[in-house]
Amino acid sequence: MDLNLSGQVAIITGSSSGIGRACAIALAREGVKVIINYHSDAEGAEAVRQEITQRGGEAISVKADVSKEEDVEDLVESCVQAYGHLDIMVANAGLQADAAFTEMTLEQWNKVINVNLTGQFLCCRAAARIFRKQGVHKHGRAAGKIVCMSSVHDEIAWAGHVNYATAKGGVKMLMESMAQELAQDKIRVNAIAPGAIKTDINKDAWEDEESLEKLLTLIPYGRIGQGEDVAKVCAFLVSDAADYITGATLYVDGGMMLYPGFRDNG
């Protein structure tokens, strides 16, 4: 399928590693000019930039903390300065700060909410302002496209991770309310909810055989996901092939949402 994304411009937050990195590479492969946002790993961001440019793609990297309003404004501004417009925002940056509920500190709570939820609000708002001003232009049928990186934990409760699950539950409502409000401006807003994808964020769950085996009991499809599994869906969602999709969450989870505990009669 020709996704026809050539010449479009995308910001992918937290793309010096993991799922964001895979999305940046996949979009660049489709001819998208990519802004690789990173928080502190300048080397990682540079490696992604080189991987893209060595394959003939265009990319720059920009440092910004997505939980800081000023940083986000500067991030979007440097994109417009570099490329003149913006077509795609992938609000992907995220982290975990896990603790049992009664042990969780306010700092751990705030850290995750600030990055995983407020960070998405700030990035999506900054992008939507530009999309609205820009309107539908020569690149595609929408004025702009937003993809929020959610999680199966927008639905599945997660003991020991209430800050993370609360943030992702919030992302679901943030995404759906934005989609409802911005559709009249021809701005499409969707979410991808990954299951278990092999990245640094969940290393504990796959780095040794025993942990991986335990994890696989939760995945009917029988394998851990890769960044590319998510990136391919991201490229589809921001293309005109998905022009009639807005307000949707696509679960990319090998069936994790299917209550695998009930597989053998419950």
Q: What would the two tokens of residue 192 be?
A: 């991808």
* Residue 92 or 143 having the CB closest to ligand NAD: 92
Binding positions for ligand NAD, 50-89, rule CB under 6 A: 65-67
* Residue 119 or 140 having the CB closest to ligand NAD: 119
Per CB under 6 A, does 163 bind ligand NAD?
Answer: no
Residues recognised as catalytic: 164
Q: Tokens 């496209």 belong to which residue?
A: 145
Which window, 14-22, 53-61, 134-142, 231-239, contacts ligand NAD (CB under 6 A)? Answer: 14-22
CB 134 within 8 A of CB 156: no
Per CB under 6 A, does 169 bind ligand NAD?
Answer: no
Per CB under 6 A, does 17 bind ligand NAD?
Answer: yes
Q: Determine how many CB atoms are found less than 10 A away from the CB of residue 28.
A: 25
Q: Residues binding ligand NAD: what is the number (CB under 6 A)?
A: 27
* Residue 84 or 160 having the CB closest to ligand NAD: 160
Furthest-apart CA pair in the chain: how many Å? 58
Per CB under 6 A, does 95 bind ligand NAD?
Answer: yes
Handedness of CA 14, 20, 23, 29 (dihedral sign): positive
Q: What would the two tokens of residue 15 be?
A: 């793309």
Which window, 12-20, 23-31, 74-82, 127-135, contacts ligand NAD (CB under 6 A)? Answer: 12-20
* Residue 143 or 152 having the CB closest to ligand NAD: 152
Q: Which helix (H) or strand (E) holds 37?
A: strand 33-38
The residues, any chain, with a CB within 8 Å of residue 212's CB and separated by 6 or more, are 205, 206, 224
What are the residues facing 189 on neighbouring strands? 146
Question: Least distance in Å: CB of 265 to ligand NAD?
Answer: 28
Per CB under 6 A, does 246 bind ligand NAD?
Answer: no
Smallest CA-to-CA distance from 8 within 239, 241, 243 is with 239
> Could you give the CA distance from residue 143 to residue 98 in angstroms, rounded to a whole number?
38
* Residue 144 or 254 having the CB closest to ligand NAD: 254
> Could you give the CA distance from residue 115 to residue 260 in angstroms, rounded to a whole number?
30
Among the listed residues 107, 200, 209, 264, the single contact to ligand NAD using CB under 6 A: 200
Residues of this chain that interact with ligand NAD (CB under 6 A) are 13-14, 16-20, 39, 41, 65-67, 92-95, 115, 119, 149, 151, 194, 196-197, 199-202
